[in-house]
Structure 1
Amino acid sequence: MEILRTVLTVLFIFDCIGLSVIVLMQEGKSQGLGSIAGMADTYWGKNKGRSMEGTLVKVTKIMGVLFFVLALVLNLNF
């Protein structure tokens, strides 16, 4: 049982580091004055899910869920 806890702790540490890196790689959501002139409706704004930014958002969500699941499992006293 102690080996499982050690493996989950190592996974949790890698998830924490990875989540921090992924969040720092993302662009800011504020577009400045460009969004007033309609720049948000360009090709890249409409197809954001297929771009690198969209992929980073998906990976962030997955790693966030993994973070909370691992935190809950590691908090159990087994």
Structure 2
Amino acid sequence: MEIARTIIMIIFIILSIAITVIILMQEGKSGGLGAIAGAADSYWGKNKGRSMEGVLVKLTRVFVVLFLLIAAFLCIARFA
């Protein structure tokens, strides 16, 4: 059981580093002057889910869910 807990802890640490890197790679949500001029309706504005930014947002969501599940498991395993 101790080996499995150690492996899960290593995965947890790698996942936390990956979340930090992915969040830092994302662009800010402010549109700047482009939002005032209506640039949000451009090709990249309409297809944001298929762009690299969209992939980063989806990866962030998946990694955060995994992070929370592993954190809950480690907490429960500690008290069991």
Deviation at residue 37 of structure 1 after TM alignment:
1.1
Unpaired segments ≥5 residues, structure 1: none
2:44 is equivalent to residue 38 of structure 1? no
TM-score, reference length from structure 2 = 0.94
Please state whether the residue corresponding to 2:27 is helix, strand or coil. coil
2:22 alignment partner in structure 1: 22
Higher relative contact order, structure no. (Cα contacts within 8 Å, ≥ 6 residues apart)? 1
**1:53-68 matched pairs, under 5 angstroms:** 53-68=53-68
Query: Which amino acid in 2 is paired with 1:3?
Result: I
The amino acid across from 1:46 in the alignment is K
Structure 2: gaps of 5 or more residues: none
Segments of 4+ moved more than 3 angstroms: none
Q: CA RMSD in A?
A: 0.7
Alpha-carbon deviation of 1:33?
1.7
1:50 aligns with 2:55: no
**How many residue pairs end up in the alignment?**
78
